[in-house]
Amino acid sequence: MDYRDTPEEAEFRATLREWLSATIPAGWDKIEDELEAVRLRKDWHRTLYRAGYVGMSWPVEYGGRGLSPVYDAILNEESGNLGAPPLPSVGYIGRAIFMYASEEQKRRFLPPLLSGEASWCQGFSEPEAGSDLASLRTAARLDGDHYVVNGQKMWTSGGQYADWCLLLARTDPDVPKHKGISAFLVSMTEPGVTVRPIVIASGEAETAEVFWDDVRIPVEQRLGAPGEGWRIAMTTVAYERGPADIGFIANYRRTLRKVEGLAAERGLLEKEEVRKALARAYVRGEVLRLNCMEQLSMRVSGRAPGPEGSIAKLLWADAEQSLQHLAMDILGADEMTGVAAGWLSSYFTSRPVSVYGGSAQIQKNIIARMLDMPR
C-alpha cells in the first residue's frame, strides 16, 4: 500500500483540517463533570455528522457517504493532530448490524446510530462469562411473538447513557454452548431493564451492570438467525479490536503531545532517558498507525476484519499503557499529591484496555492459531 495521500485525499485532509481548526470546542478537555463530558461527546458526534464526517465509509442509503475507509483514517489522524474531542465509536456495533440485519432493521437502526440520535452499548460480558463468553447464562425464552429475557450483564461500557443495546442471550440450552446464543437489538428503556453504574479504579463510572428481568423483546428485533449470536459476537469484537474503528489513534496522538508537554514543563526534555522514552512512545504510535492503515487497505480490497485484528489489539494495549506509565514516571509524586491531578485517573483507565474485545491471552491464542502453532 502507498501510504501517501492521493490528490483527492490531500484535498479532503486540508478541508478537514480547516474545519476542525474552526470548530473544535475550546476547553473541552478541561471539563471534569462526567455528565457534562458525556453531553459534549454527544454534541461533538452530531456536529461531526452534520458536517459529513461520521460514517464516511458507510453506504449512502444508511446515512454514510460511500467513501473509502482511508477517509476515516484521515479523520482519525487530523483529529489527533488538532486536539479534537474523542471520535464517536460507531464502527463495531454498527458493522455487526450492517452485516447481519434485515433491510428493515438496517434502515431503522443505522441512520440514528451514525447521526448520534441514538447511542448504543454492548451487552456481552456476564459475572461468570467474560473471557469465556460462550458460557453466558442470560436466557431469552420465546413466548409468542416476543422473547422474554432474564439475566445479568457486567462491564457494559456506557450502559447508563445508552439508548439501545446489542444483547447476547441463550435461546437454546440443549445444543453446544456456542450454537445456542442469539443476538437482539433492545431499547434500554424497556420495562425490566435496570442499569447500575460501576465506579472503576479511576473514580469514574464509565461502565455498568445491567439486570434483565422479564424484558420482552419483539421477535423482529432479533439480529440474524436463531443461534447466530456467537458469529455476530465474533464479528463485533473483531471490529472492536481495530483501533482504526474506535478512534484510538487520534486519542493516542493527543495524549502523547500532553505527555511531551509535561516533560517540557518540568525541564526534562534534555534528559536522555526521557527523550528515549518519548521516542519509544512515538514509535509505538506509528507502528500502530501503520498496522491500522494496512488493515484498512485490506478492507478497501474487500476483505473483512479477521484474526489479524488481534495484533492491532495487542499493539493498542501496549501503546496506551506504556504511554500512561511514562506520564506517571514524569510526574513522580506530583500526581499522588494532587499537584498534577487527572493523570492517575487516566493511568487507571488504561489498565482495562488489555481486556477490551477479549483479553491479551485470548488475542495471543488467536495469533498462535493463525500461525498454526502447536497448542
Residue with the bigger pLDDT between 127 and 375: it is 127
Q: What is the mean predicted confidence (pLDDT) over 193-209?
A: 84
Range of the domain at 167: 120-226
Strand partners, 182: 169
Task: Give the CA distances from residue 50 to residues 46, 114, 309, in Å, rounded to whole numbers and listed in that order.
Answer: 6, 10, 30
Based on the domain organization, do 296 and 209 belong to the same domain? no
Residue 205 sits in the same domain as residue 313? no
330 and 248 housed in the same domain: yes
Which pLDDT value is given to residue 172?
A: 94
pTM: 0.79
Q: For 294-304, write each residue's pLDDT tens digit.
A: 877 777 777 76
Q: How many domains does the chain contain in total?
A: 3
Confirm whether 114 is domain-assigned. no
Distances (CA, A) of 45 to 26, 85, 87, 111: 16, 9, 7, 13
H helix intervals, 68-185: 70-81, 91-100, 103-115
Q: Are residues 267 and 351 in the same domain?
A: yes
Domain-embedded: residue 1: no
Q: In 3D, which of 370, 362, 352, 349 has the Cα closest to residue 131?
A: 362
Q: What pLDDT is attached to residue 123?
A: 94
Residue 96: inside a domain = no
110 lies in some domain: no
100 within domain boundaries: no
pLDDT for position 88: 87
- Is 207 domain-assigned? yes
pLDDT digits (tens, 9 = 90+) for 276-317: 999 999 999 989 888 887 877 777 777 766 777 788 888 888
Reported as half-sphere exposure (CB side, CA atoms, 13 A), residue 239 has a value of 22
Per residue in 331-350, pLDDT (tens digit) is 888 877 766 667 888 888 88
| 3-state DSSP assignment of residue 303 | coil
For residues 303 and 363, membership in a common domain is answered with yes
Q: Answer yes or no: do 166 and 52 share one domain.
A: no
Is the residue at 97 inside a domain? no
Q: What local confidence, expressed as pLDDT, does residue 332 receive?
A: 86
Residue 208 belongs to domain with CATH number: 2.40.110.10
In the structure, what pLDDT confidence band is assigned to residue 245 with cuts at 50, 70 and 90? low
> In a 3-state reduction of DSSP, which class is residue 164?
strand
What pLDDT is stored for residue 202 in this prediction?
67
Per residue in 154-176, pLDDT (tens digit) is 989 889 999 999 999 999 999 98
**Of residues 240, 308, 320, 335, which has the active-site annotation?**
240
Q: Residue 182: its pLDDT value, please?
A: 97
Cβ contacts of 40-46, under 8 Å, gap ≥ 24? 40/85, 41/85, 41/86, 41/88, 42/116, 42/119, 44/84, 44/85, 44/86, 44/88, 45/88, 45/116, 46/115, 46/116, 46/117
53-84, pLDDT tens digit by residue? 998 988 898 888 999 888 888 898 888 888 88
What integer is the mean pLDDT of 11-30? Answer: 94
CA dist list (Å): 306 to 74, 100, 271, 356, 366: 22, 17, 42, 16, 10
More confident residue, 224 or 200: 224
Percent of the chain with pLDDT over 70: 94
Q: Nearest-5° angle of CA 286, CA 247, CA 105?
A: 140
Q: Which of 175, 196, 226 is the last residue of a domain?
A: 226
Predicted confidence at residue 12, as pLDDT, reads 96
Question: Whose CA is closest to 100, among 182, 20, 23, 155?
Answer: 182
Please report, rounded to a whole number, the percentage of residues in the chain having pLDDT higher than 90: 50
**Angle at Cα 223 formed by Cα 219 and Cα 225, nearest 5°?**
80
Name 146's bridge partners.
Answer: 143, 218
Res. 247 pLDDT band, cuts 50 70 90: low
126 shares its domain with 61: no
Q: What is the DSSP letter of 28?
A: G
Residue where a domain terminates, one of 193, 226, 259: 226
Tell me the average pLDDT of the chain.
Answer: 87
- Active-site annotation holds for 240: yes
239 within 8 A of 310, measured Cβ to Cβ = no
pLDDT at 240: 66
Q: Which residue has the cell 456467537?
A: 230
d(CA 360, CA 144) in angstroms, rounded, equals 42
User: Quick check: 269 pLDDT over 70?
Assistant: yes
CATH number of residue 77's parent domain: 1.10.540.10
Reply yes or no on whether the pLDDT at 248 is more than 70: yes
Among residues 71, 88, 105, the one where a domain terminates is 88
> Which among 246, 240, 241, 238 has a CA at the least distance from the CA of 87?
246
DSSP string, 98-124: HHHS-HHHHHHHHHHHHHTSS-EEEE-
Among residues 48, 39, 55, 44, the alpha carbon closest in space to that of 91 is found at: 55
Joined together, the cell numbers standing for residue 147 give 422473547
133 within 8 A of 233, measured Cβ to Cβ? yes
pLDDT of 30 above 80: yes
